[in-house]
Amino acid sequence: MRGWQVTVLVTIVIAFLGTLGAAWTVRPIIDYNMSAIQDSYQNSPYNPMKVGLNFQNRGSIDASLHLVVRATDANITVDKLEPWIACNGTQAIFNVAAQMHMENSATYYVNILPIGNPKNFTITYTIEDNSNSFSINGLISHLFLEQHGYYPTYAVYNQTNGNVYQLVKQQYP
């Protein structure tokens, strides 16, 4: 290679790495957890357990997310089914926009109702990137999305007496 070709190549590499570095500094940073987790729950078809799905974007760019809650041996419902919510029994997916620099977390609620009278049931909450990779913000979110699951994102309930369930385990993802 000639001297000028090396200079052009080095300039291109530096510009590329600088662009990646700048994109990384503005990435979406998402904190998430479940709220309203009860220590004890009495199973009743007229009294489902309400669980909050919290999220907050502390980053400098908007993100399109899927909030995903799954249950084992329990059905999940929402109070009002919207076009941006997919709910199919044991799983619910919320398609949401997480605005940059959110001062407070946003919360969506789901209803959990054990199927029959199982010995135990679990609830798991995760988030997934749902960005359009063909936009600059979407590409940055897709490449550099940072997730922080905070206590709890997973809960296990064991049957203690008839239709009463006790929370026995909570943990990070």
Q: With 70 as the cut, is the pLDDT of residue 122 above it?
A: yes
For residue 166, give every residue at least 6 positions away whose Cβ sits within 8 Å of its Cβ, in sequence order, or none: 39, 40, 157, 158, 160
Question: Which residues constitute the domain of residue 104?
Answer: 28-171
Let me know if residue 43 belongs to a domain.
yes
Residue 28 burial by Cβ neighbours in a 10 Å radius (0-12, 13-18, 19+): buried
Residue 22 lies in a domain: no
pLDDT (tens digit, 9 = 90+) per residue, 52-99?
999 999 988 888 899 999 999 999 999 988 889 999 999 999 999 888
For 129-166, write each residue's pLDDT tens digit.
888 767 777 788 878 788 888 878 999 999 998 889 99
40 within some domain:
yes
Does 18 map to a domain? no
Count of domains forming the chain: 1
- pLDDT on residue 10: 67
Query: Is residue 163 in a domain?
Result: yes
115, 159 contact by CB (below 8 A): no
pLDDT at 157: 95
Q: The domain that contains 133 carries what CATH number?
A: 2.60.40.10
Q: Is the pLDDT of residue 173 over 70?
A: no
pLDDT tens digit sequence for 28-50: 889 999 998 889 999 988 899 99
Q: Is residue 10 part of a domain?
A: no
